[in-house]
Structure 1
């Protein structure tokens, strides 16, 4: 395992920061190089090598791969759904050009393995909403979704045409107490915990019965590492795998929070993100991931809620 030399691009982001620390735990601090266009949190910066790098700067990325003798790249840099709608061209540039840089380096055999995250945003209003299949109608209506769908096609193309060992997961909404929301449509499910502890109230930007697939960060990190550690012959899907854990609405999440905070109050003022959420699936069929590389989740809604409150309270104590 220690022959691995890993570069995480976008390591200061929501998933990247926690993934970097877990990979350092598994492969050794010096074998996992974190990079981002901005500095990360103190733990990320102090626990191993960190490099400032723009994901779209090919010479810089290539120099890092050569300097550290990188074998595996996790390309986590992306502009998320809510933010991307405000800056479409900038989002397209970041989300697509960063991927081409890495795929071409893998094609040239300068790296051995690539991880690139996709999203449920690849689906659209015409996709079956319940138990969305692995292979189905995909007509995304957001900039983020269009870039992720295009990325999936390119990943599969580079595997079929050039033998690039690229692996991918379609993440649902990811919930964590360690990092702040990053501009995604499912971020209400993180914000609600912060506001519950701070003010005892929350105004949701999605309507009360908007059902979306969600996952606790621990499970998302586990899935990411599991798919990268699986034997290449087990990875049958080279576009991106469906991934699921739980599905809930803002109303259902609020009800779970009220079990621990009976006085908690929620209101609903949907904004532009409501239309994005309405175009996404309500639940996901991830049987292919289960079959091919034994995926399974640990955290349901009750366990997630407890973990979020416990984690945020510990963080508050540390900050004070």
Structure 2
């Protein structure tokens, strides 16, 4: 069967790499990149591209009607830090956009839909260590409770309409190909850019704030692996926990210093992102992903740091 795949939000941190990997797997013409704006990124010119605003229902319907996708990846979202600055917009984009996609996927008989959730669905009363798949979930950010509500909608559409929706609760994502998109875990990307640019970084999170993270290569591999898994193997239709690597800014800094000995890190005080981070898990139990679709992580803190620095060298300018 020939696949026709639409990636909505293709210009973002996940989207750019996902489009590249999907095109390598299925062919350039079979993967339609789409976003609310054009960019000069090569994915725009290497295959089909559509301008898409997930809040524009009429235009979105026309895109579904034109391409009749067999798979849709919905990545368009407002992330945690930006969401606290624009809460109503974040809720509208994150929720209404998802409902539009789910409705059109049912209407056009799309075989599979991927929608990303996040560790932000957990809250102050969720277990902090090895946070399980099922537990108390009381998120205190707009991003968090929009993701939790989205999980319920995904499972509802699977149960009520038989729509094959699949999802991952991503930890913080670290990659070198694109800029971060306004999340609480962004420090773990910015720190590499600053380390190479001027050897210094001021972290907006405290030295001992442990959070689950994942290297982008692992995140993309997990996403495609989940979408390739036989439907009968999947027991979670809300969103799968994904563990990643748990570390603090101090531990990441120490690892960077092995490559850049003069690197210095400092810590700001009273940043609003600290409160968000404090409500999130320190580590994640992803046993269901391991058992249901044979998930195995490849990168640890050491190998991720080495790969980030290797790929960023030569592309970072002193003006950053």
TM-score band w.r.t. shorter chain: over 0.9
Moved more, 61-70 or 13-22: 61-70
- The runs of at least 4 aligned residues of structure 1 exceeding 3 Å deviation read 314-317
What residue in structure 1 maps to residue 128 of structure 2? 129
1:316 Cα deviation after fit: 4.3
Please, which runs of 5 or more residues in structure 1 have no aligned partner? none
Q: 1:249 to 1:95 in 2, by over 3 A?
A: same
Structure 1 equivalent of residue 53 of structure 2: 54
Would the aligned equivalents of 1:92 and 1:143 in 2 still touch at CA under 8 Å? Answer: yes
Instruction: Summarize the alignment of residues 132-281 of structure 1 with structure 2, pairs less than 5 Å apart.
Output: 132-270=131-269, 271-281=271-281
How far 1:43 sits from its partner (Å)? Answer: 1.4
Asked if residue 304 in structure 1 is aligned to residue 309 in structure 2, the reply is: no
Residues 39-73 of structure 1 deviation map (CA, whole Å, 9 limit, x = unaligned): 23421111111111101112212211221221110
Q: d(CA) in 2 for partners of 1:194 and 1:83? A: 21
On the 8 A contact 2:106/2:161 being kept in 1, the answer is: yes
Secondary structure at the counterpart of residue 50 of structure 2:
strand
Equivalent residue number for residue 291 of structure 2? 291
Residue 314 of structure 1 and its aligned partner are, at CA, apart by 4.6
Question: Partners in 1 of 2:108 and 2:34 — Cα distance?
Answer: 21
Q: Structure 2: 5+ residue runs without aligned partners?
A: none
TM-score between both structures, scaled by the size of structure 1: 0.97
Following superposition, the deviation at residue 165 of structure 1 comes to 0.4
The count of corresponding residues between Structure 1 and Structure 2 is 316
TM-score, scaled relative to structure 2: 0.97
Please give the alpha-carbon distance, in whole angstroms, between the structure 1 residues aligned to 2:288 and 2:227. 16
Q: Shift of the alpha carbon at 1:106?
A: 2.2
**2:254 partner SS:** helix
Q: CA RMSD in A?
A: 1.1
Q: Is the 8 A contact 1:11 1:40 kept in 2?
A: no
The answer to whether the Cα contact below 8 Å between 1:10 and 1:55 also exists between their aligned partners in 2 is no
Take 2:39 and 2:122, find their aligned partners in 1: how far apart are those partners?
A: 31
